[in-house]
């Protein structure tokens, strides 16, 4: 087993814990713990904190302390991003795409990684490097469910976490695909509810999302 494969195995384990990975944009570190606790209580333990705000690294550090949760860093683009995320305590990484430099950095750091791909060629390049679990991004803009069906025919050995444009109305159609293990979504933690500290409402959204993909 290669080291790359071992990290993809860990990414698969995390992706299998719940049907939805919350994609979080958090501006205030004071919101980190109660937000993470609400999402975990609601049944969504794997949390992607995007590196899009000045507070993101501190947020990851706080969320990593929440029992039963797994805090990861999203929007990893450079080796410096990886180093900062690992220092903050990120337990996994997510990227919108993949470069050799980025993958070299995550592999050197031993960080489980969900690298992004939008085309068959990108997916094949990642597979050749040992990543058989990938983020399909931006999902809706890249052809949505139809694209995943098309890629899944010749590349059934790749499993995806589609992210980008996923919402309660279309999530089920993605999760019903045989090559989809989970999906990333931001609707479970909207900014207005975070700002207002409405953790019970976020927990309810998480609980509903945690039931997606289940037999009716």
State both tokens at 128: 């050749």
Dihedral angle at the C-alpha atoms of 198, 204, 207, 209, nearest 10 degrees?
Answer: -90
- Kindly give, in sequence order, each residue whose CB lies less than 8 Å from that of residue 145, ignoring residues fewer than 6 positions away: 170, 173, 174, 177
3-state secondary structure of 33: helix
Q: Which of 4, 37, 48, 203 is catalytic?
A: 48
Mark whether 198 is an active-site residue: no
Mark whether 58 is an active-site residue: no
Work out the burial of residue 94: count CB atoms within 10 Å of its CB; fewer than 13 is exposed, 13-18 middle, 19 or more buried.
buried
Q: Which of 4, 37, 62, 135 is catalytic?
A: 135
CB 29 within 8 A of CB 64: no
Please identify every residue annotated as catalytic. 48, 135
């Amino acid at each position: 087993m290669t080291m790359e494969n071992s990290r993809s195995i860990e990414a698969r384990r995390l992706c299998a814990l719940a049907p939805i990975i919350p994609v979080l944009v958090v501006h205030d570190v004071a919101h980190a713990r109660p937000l993470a606790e609400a999402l975990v209580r609601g049944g969504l333990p794997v949390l992607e904190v995007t590196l899009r705000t000045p507070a993101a690294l501190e947020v990851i550090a706080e969320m990593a302390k929440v029992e039963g949760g797994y805090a990861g860093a999203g929007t990893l683009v450079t080796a410096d991003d990886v180093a900062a995320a690992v220092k903050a305590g990120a337990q996994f990484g997510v990227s919108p795409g993949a470069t050799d430099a980025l993958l070299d950095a995550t592999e050197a750091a031993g960080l489980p990684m969900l690298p992004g791909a939008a085309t068959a060629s990108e997916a094949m390049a990642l597979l050749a490097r040992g990543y058989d679990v990938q983020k399909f991004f931006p999902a809706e803009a890249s052809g949505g469910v139809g694209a995943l069906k098309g890629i899944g025919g010749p590349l059934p050995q790749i499993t995806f976490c589609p992210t980008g444009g996923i919402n309660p109305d279309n999530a089920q159609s993605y999760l019903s695909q045989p090559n989809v293990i989970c999906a990333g979504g931001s609707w479970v933690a909207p900014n207005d509810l975070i700002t207002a500290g409405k953790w019970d409402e976020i927990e309810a959204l998480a609980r509903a999302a945690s039931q997606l993909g289940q037999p009716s």
